[in-house]
Amino acid sequence: KDRFLPKLLSGEWTGAMDLTEPQAGSDLSAVRTKATPRDDGSYAIEGQKIFITWGDHDCAPNVVHLVLARIDGAPEGTRGLSLFVVPKFVPDASGAPGEANNVRCIGLEKKLGIHASPTCTMEFSGATGWLVGQEHCGLAHMFTMMNSARINVGVQGVGVAERAFQQAVAFAKERRQGKTPGDNEPARIIEHPDVRRMLLTMKSKIEAARAICYAAAVAADYAEYLEDPDDRKAAAAREALLTPIAKAWSTDFAVEAASLNIQVHGGMGFVEETGAAQHYRDARITPIYEGTNGIQAIDLIRRKLTSDGGRAMRDLIEDIRETAESLALSSNEQLPALAEQLADGADALERCVDWLLDEDRDPQDVLAAAEPFMRMTGDVVGGHFLGLSALAAQRRLKEGQDNPDFAQAKIDIARFYAENILSAAPGLIEPVTAGAGVLFDVAEEFLSA
């Protein structure tokens, strides 16, 4: 810690996480990189890692790799993995980068997007490394960072979506095509209903995704810093539940938002001149790395939902119902309609939770429910937060605070979300509860026929 952390925290040195191997992507139980103990307490690291973000570069004097490897004689599977710190240059007695370590980049990937980020294939040929934490606890140690990283990737999705949205709005305000009813002059495309629908879809889902990511991050802070142990435990459960939603739902929408930006631009979005295509390319990685969104969905239903018998999810559903009740009791005539949609969403979510938690449920049917359940959960939780936003806006209006137009816009955005996104949640009950049958009824030879 004394040797590496000050340099990493200051940004003088950079870090890289080295998990993936050619045969071990999402399934890290197949990791083969070996660690052989040496007499001086260090280890000789031998193996190859792929898809290593910022694995090697010239932007810092040293790169510190955190490497998952298997100590000689360790058990098979993930329980046999340990974590090692392996620097590009071994620090000398003064702490400065010393002699080169036996780790090198043997390839740079040519990627669809994120071209400013070097993605490397790294080869460890007896590289010197030191054990981090305890033997055979490497994956648990790595997840200390990975859970945070998943929230960060959710925020990355929000950021790409927000930039795509801003670009789409700016273009829609300037571009003139067609005429609106009763007007003979060419109209700005932002005046056409279909373009407004695309822009409001982007706006409302970005606000929902941002709120989900914020809520996950706040729960993480509460889990660490609240004084009462029971409060910390409840916050940790909320953080665990929201993290896969923040990662998967936000990044799935990032791709959708970047695609909508291209659509708003029309043909100009499909050419490189406008820059709209770059957001689409850059967004596409976010549902893949830090755990694919399919795995996030499985994590939600197989671990986060079942670890406490569904209590954390039921507590969240109760919060959603309270928001719906507050909306229903509002004096603003627009908010009770939001309450109905949100209550219906909570009912749909609870019905699917009951179905998933049935102990007699076929595990294959549960796995088949993962993606539509994730989509439903994100839609409903997003509606919950936009409902809270609408209630806060209503309080501002009643108190006569400045900028009433801004407050009214928040209510209108929540209305759009409820009518166009949240309203679809009950329709996802059927795909959640349909089971895996039809997925395998079509034989493999006919998938390509």
Token pair 């949205």 is found at 165
- What does residue 96 show for φ and ψ, rounded to 5 degrees? -85, 155
Residue from 9, 11, 1, 4 nearest 88 by CA: 4
At residue 51, what is the residue type?
F
User: Would you say the C-alpha torsion 356, 360, 365, 367 has a positive or negative sign?
Assistant: positive
Q: Out of 290, 318, 371, 419, which one is annotated catalytic?
A: 290
C-alpha to C-alpha distances, 411 to 169, 191, 192, 338, 405, nearest whole angstrom: 20, 20, 21, 10, 10
Contact status, residue 195 vs residue 172, Cβ threshold 8 Å? yes
Q: Which helix (H) or strand (E) holds 90?
A: strand 89-91
Grouping H, G, I as helix, E, B as strand and the rest as coil, residue 258 is: helix
Contact status, residue 36 vs residue 46, Cβ threshold 8 Å? yes
- 218: number of Cβ within 10 Å: 14
Given the DSSP bridges, would you call strands 81-87 and 119-132 parallel, antiparallel or unpaired?
Answer: antiparallel
Residue from 185, 195, 122 nearest 165 by CA: 195
Residue from 150, 141, 118, 112 nearest 292 by CA: 150
Tokens of 353: 């939770």
Q: Is 290 one of the catalytic residues?
A: yes
At residue 276, what is the residue type?
A
Residues designated catalytic: 290
